[in-house]
């Protein structure tokens, strides 16, 4: 991160990228897998297109490019969504778009922003089981890894 200003959610984007850098690759890939399994391809493209249209040609475009150059697969989509979180509106980049891009991370790691709403228990339990599938260990191991890493400063 070369001193790019991520906008009003700068602290949250920087924290996300910092935390993601400390998580094991296997965990990160399971989060990404869940995001792509849960969201239909057209939902992901629509969310990304809305964000690109919103930020393209604005000062936030630099932040978008920085995220695209530095983030791995699992944190890429939620970091992009965070860059534009304050611009969520009924049209353009909507709450549904934000939720699509952040779902996997919010399930497996936790909220990205203090104002993010909790996920319904049913959605969380389904997501948690999908994230845990294929992990070389128990789901408890997966949770323990995330908890240990998120507890670090």
Q: Helix 73-83 to helix 25-38 angle, to the nearest 10 degrees? A: 60
pLDDT digits (tens, 9 = 90+) for 39-67: 677 777 888 888 888 888 887 888 888 88
pLDDT digits (tens, 9 = 90+) for 54-113: 888 887 888 888 887 777 666 788 888 898 899 899 988 898 888 888 877 887 777 888
**Span 120-147, mean pLDDT?**
54
Q: In this structure, how many other beta carbons lie within 10 angstroms of the beta carbon of residue 42?
A: 8
Q: How many CA atoms lie within 13 A of 59 on its CB side?
A: 5
């Amino acid at each position: 991160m070369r001193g790019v200003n991520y906008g009003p959610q700068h602290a949250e984007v920087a924290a996300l990228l910092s935390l993601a850098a400390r998580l094991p690759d296997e965990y990160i890939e399971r989060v990404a897998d869940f995001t792509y399994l849960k969201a239909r391809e057209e939902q992901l493209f629509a969310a990304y297109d809305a964000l690109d249209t919103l930020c393209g040609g604005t000062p936030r475009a630099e932040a978008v490019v920085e995220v695209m150059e530095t983030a791995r697969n699992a944190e890429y989509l939620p970091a992009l969504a965070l860059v534009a979180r304050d611009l969520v509106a009924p049209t353009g980049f909507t709450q549904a778009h934000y939720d699509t891009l952040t779902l996997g991370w919010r399930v497996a790691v936790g909220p990205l922003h203090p104002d993010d709403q909790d996920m319904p228990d049913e959605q969380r339990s389904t997501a948690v089981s999908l994230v845990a599938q294929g992990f070389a260990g128990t789901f408890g191991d997966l949770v323990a890894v995330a908890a240990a890493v998120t507890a670090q400063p």
